[in-house]
Amino acid sequence: MVIVMAKRKKIKKSFKIVFIFIVLLIVIIGSLFTYNTFFKKSKSEATSEVEKLMKEYNIDSKKYSKTLEFVLLNNIYNEKYLTEYQDIEYTDKDNFANIITTFLPKGYSGKEINYIMKLSTKNIDKLSNIDYKDISNYYEFKNFDVNKIARYNAYYEENDYNYQDVVTYVNINLDLPVYTETTEVNDPNSLSVLVNKYNYLPNGYKPSDISYLPGAYGNNVPMREVIIEPFKELQKAAEEEAGINFMPTTAFRDYSFQKTLYNNYVASDGVKEADTYSARPGYSEHQTGLSIDLKNTNISGSTRLNEEDYEWLSNNAYRFGFIIRFPQDKTYITGYQFENWHIRYVGLDAAKIIYENDLTLEEYIDLYVTDY
């Protein structure tokens, strides 16, 4: 009896296996039938149509490409660009046809068009409105601006910089004299607002959230409320980790204060020298309330920070959303002398990127914020 039951179970199990196999076979055959009936047929018809068009235009079958098929089927084929069609990588982007019909007549090669496809919509639009320009040296840079091609080329010829640096430096106007072609900032309340010798604050601007912290000289120092807690955290960490007592000497300064300060420096040292260490009124980021000048009050006299203080500050300020605004090795970018005591709040994420990539605020804005 036990043997009979075992045989029945074995037969039943075998039947299940055979049944599953048959079902899978039916599914596979059905799939092949569907593919051959619909997809393969459609492909054959499309190929037949393209072949017909190629014969009509007397195009050798060896010249076939997906892009050639596209232009034929969309009735935008031009025999003078047959070789270029072979080089153009097909894409299903909505502007594919427009790019082909716009840039081939301007003299761009198929390979150049492949690069153009990767540009931002803004740059493609700009490029479409001007005559042919050789921009092969700049395609790969995300901060490339078509409108500045001539400036890029001139700056490259005049300086010993690579093309990536040329693009960034021209974008932040280092090819122009300071305080020329200046621009009013769009959002003075932004934590990443860029105020320098090319970007000025709106007339009469003053932050609406000014608060105060005790200063290094017994004064109350005004600054934006948004930076007070991060600064307190920085102060606490500096004291606990390095025994440094960072105190603010100045932070927010209004237009009138900066005007008096700058004029005094000019009277003392002249405009050219004053411009290397003091901002003209309206062009000072102290007016944003996001910058703080520091002093370690453990040090007596006029010295603000010693080397050890700066070492800690330069390697830790980013942890609290601050950056060294005028680094020693970036004076040619910032336009100001090295200031080891001047920090600027930009927020945690921006400060981390700036620190890890050894950037100035100018470079960060160009590479990570500005939409090209």
Report, as residue numbers or ranges, the catalytic residues: 339
Answer for the pair 42, 34: CB distance below 8 angstroms, yes or no: no
58 conformational bin, left if phi > 0, alpha if psi -120 to 50, beta if neither: left
Answer for the pair 305, 292: CB distance below 8 angstroms, yes or no: no
The number of residues in the chain equals: 372
Spatial CB neighbours of 301, under 8 Å, sequence gap ≥ 6: none
DSSP letters for 275-315: TTTSPPTTS-GGGGT-EEEEEETTS-SS----HHHHHHHHH
Q: Computed from CA positions of residues 121, 122, 125, 131, in that sequence, does the dihedral angle turn out positive or negative?
A: negative
Q: Report the share of the chain in percent with pLDDT over 90.
A: 86
Vertex 294 angle, CA 290 and 296, to 5°: 155
Spatial CB neighbours of 62, under 8 Å, sequence gap ≥ 6: none
Vertex 161 angle, CA 371 and 368, to 5°: 20
Q: How far apart are the C-alpha atoms of 198 and 172, rounded to whole Å?
A: 8
Q: Tell me the fold of 183-369.
A: Muramoyl-pentapeptide Carboxypeptidase; domain 2 (3.30.1380)
Residue 47 is predicted with a pLDDT of: 78
SS3 at position 263: helix
157 conformational bin, left if phi > 0, alpha if psi -120 to 50, beta if neither: alpha
Q: How far apart are the C-alpha atoms of 327 and 294, rounded to whole Å?
A: 15
Q: Tokens for 103, please give them.
A: 């840039």
Answer for the pair 341, 322: CB distance below 8 angstroms, yes or no: no
| Per-residue pLDDT tens listing for the chain (372 residues) | 434 344 444 545 555 565 566 656 665 655 554 444 444 433 334 478 999 999 999 999 999 999 999 999 999 999 999 999 999 999 999 999 999 999 999 999 999 999 999 999 999 999 999 999 999 999 999 999 999 999 999 999 999 999 999 999 999 999 999 999 999 999 999 999 999 999 999 999 999 999 999 999 999 999 999 999 999 999 999 999 999 999 999 999 999 999 999 999 999 999 999 999 999 999 999 999 999 999 999 999 999 999 999 999 999 999 999 999 999 999 999 999 999 999 999 999 999 999 999 999 999 999 999 999
Q: Where are the domains of the chain?
A: 45-118, 183-369
- The continuous run of DSSP H or E covering 213 comes out as strand 210-214
Taking only the tens place, the pLDDT of each residue in 221-243 is 999 999 999 999 999 999 999 99
Residue 19 is predicted with a pLDDT of: 56
Q: How far apart are the C-alpha atoms of 113 and 103, rounded to whole Å?
A: 7
Q: How far apart are the C-alpha atoms of 41 and 34, rounded to whole Å?
A: 10
